[in-house]
A and B are shown apart, each in its own frame.
Chain A
Amino acid sequence: MSSASTVAPSFLARVRRTLDAAGHTGNLGLLLAGVIIVFSLLNPSIFASPLNLQSIAYAVPEIALLALAIAVTMSSGGIDLSIVATANLSALGAASVSIALMAGGVPGDAAAATGIAVALTVGVGCGLINGLLVAKLRIAPILATLATMTLFSGFAVAVTRGTPLYGLPDAILALGVQTVAIIPVSFWLLILAVVVIWAVMNRTGLGLRIILVGASPEAADYTGIRRSRVLLSTYALSGAIAALAGILMSARSASATAEYGSSYLLLAITIAVLGGTNPLGGRAPIVGVGVAAIVLQAISSGFNGLHISPYIYQILQGLILVVVLVVEVRRGRLTKWITRMMSRPPADGAALAASTGAATPLKEQPTPKPLTQGSHEHD
Chain B
Amino acid sequence: MSVLTRTPQFHIARLRGRNNEGVLLGIIALLLLLIAMFSPGTLSPAMFADILRSSVVNMALALGVLLIIISGGIDVSFTAIAIFAAYSTVVLMRSIGLDNGILPFLAAAVIGALLGIINAVLVAGFKLQTLIATLGSQGIVRGALLAFVGSVYISSLPSALAQIGDARLTTIGGSAVSVLVIPVILLAVGLAVVLRKTMFGRSIYAIGGAPESARRAGIRVGRVQTVIYIAAGALSGFAGMVHVALVGHASPFELVGTELTVIAAVVIGGASDAGGRGSVQGVALGVVLLALIQNSLVRLGVPGFWHTAVVGVVILLGVAIQAQSRRRRSKRSTILESAVTA
Contact = CB atoms under 8 A, between A and B. Distances in A.
Interface string A111-136: 00000000000000000000001000
A377 B272 contact: yes
Interface string A339-379: 00000000000000000000000000000101101111111
B306 A377 contact: no
A151 B74 contact: no
B132 interface: yes
B308 A153 contact: yes
A378 B209 contact: yes
Given A79-B131, A148-B312, A374-B213, A379 B333 contact: yes
A147 to B, nearest CB: 4
- Bin chain B's interface residue count: 35 or more
Interface in A272-314: 273, 279-280, 309, 311-314
Interface stretch (A3-11, A138-146, A176-184, A189-197): A138-146
A313 B144 CA distance: 10
B319 A371 contact: no
A158 B305 contact: yes
A374 B308 contact: no
B276 A377 contact: yes
B274 interface: yes
Nearest to B324: A137
A75 to B, nearest CB: 14
Given A146-B263, A150-B311, A162-B305, A374 B209 contact: yes
Interface SS, A side: helix
A279 B129 contact: yes
A269 B319 contact: no
Interface stretch (B109-117, B134-142, B181-189): B134-142
B308 A133 contact: no
B313 interface: yes
Contacts of A326: 122, 126, 128
A269 B76 CA distance: 14
A315 B146 CA distance: 10
Contact of B309 (A154, A270, A315): A154
Best-surrounded residue of B209, B267, B316 (most CB of chain A within 10 A): B316
Contact of B305 (A146, A157, A266, A314): A157
A322 B316 contact: no
A278 to B, nearest CB: 10
A138 B323 contact: yes
Given A321-B136, A322-B136, A139 B320 contact: yes
A309 B146 CA distance: 9
A269 B132 contact: yes
Contact of B147 (A150, A309, A319, A329): A309
B143 A374 contact: no
B146 to A, nearest CB: 4
B309 A157 contact: yes
B270 interface: no
Contacts of B210: 370-371, 374-375, 377-378
Nearest to B148: A311
Given A137-B320, A325-B128, A371 B311 contact: no
Contacts, number: 185
A311 B267 contact: no
Given A137-B323, A377-B274, A377-B275, A313 B316 contact: no
Given A157-B309, A375-B210, A377-B277, A142 B139 contact: no
B318 to A, nearest CB: 8
Contacts of B338: none
B272 A279 contact: no
A279 B131 contact: yes
A147 B260 CA distance: 8
Contacts of A316: 143
B327 interface: yes
Contacts of B275: 370, 374, 377
Of B5, B74, B129, B264, most A-chain CB atoms within 10 Å: B129
**Most B Cβ at <10 Å: residue of A155, A280, A318:** A318
A338 B326 CA distance: 42
B267 to A, nearest CB: 6
A266 B132 CA distance: 9
B121 to A, nearest CB: 9
Contacts of A148: 312, 316
A229 interface: no
Q: Which 9 A-B pairs have the closest CB atoms?
A: A318-B139, A154-B308, A154-B309, A151-B312, A374-B210, A315-B143, A314-B143, A150-B312, A379-B333
14 contacts: A142-B273, A147-B312, A150-B309, A158-B305, A158-B306, A313-B143, A318-B140, A319-B140, A329-B127, A370-B72, A374-B208, A375-B210, A377-B275, A378-B333
Given A158-B305, A321-B132, 20 more contacts: A140-B274, A140-B323, A143-B273, A147-B319, A148-B312, A150-B308, A151-B315, A154-B311, A158-B306, A273-B132, A313-B143, A315-B147, A317-B143, A318-B136, A318-B140, A322-B128, A326-B122, A329-B128, A370-B72, A370-B210
Interface of B: 5, 72, 74, 122, 126-129, 131-133, 135-144, 146-147, 151, 208-213, 260, 263-264, 267, 272-277, 303, 305-313, 315-316, 319-320, 323-324, 326-327, 329-330, 332-334
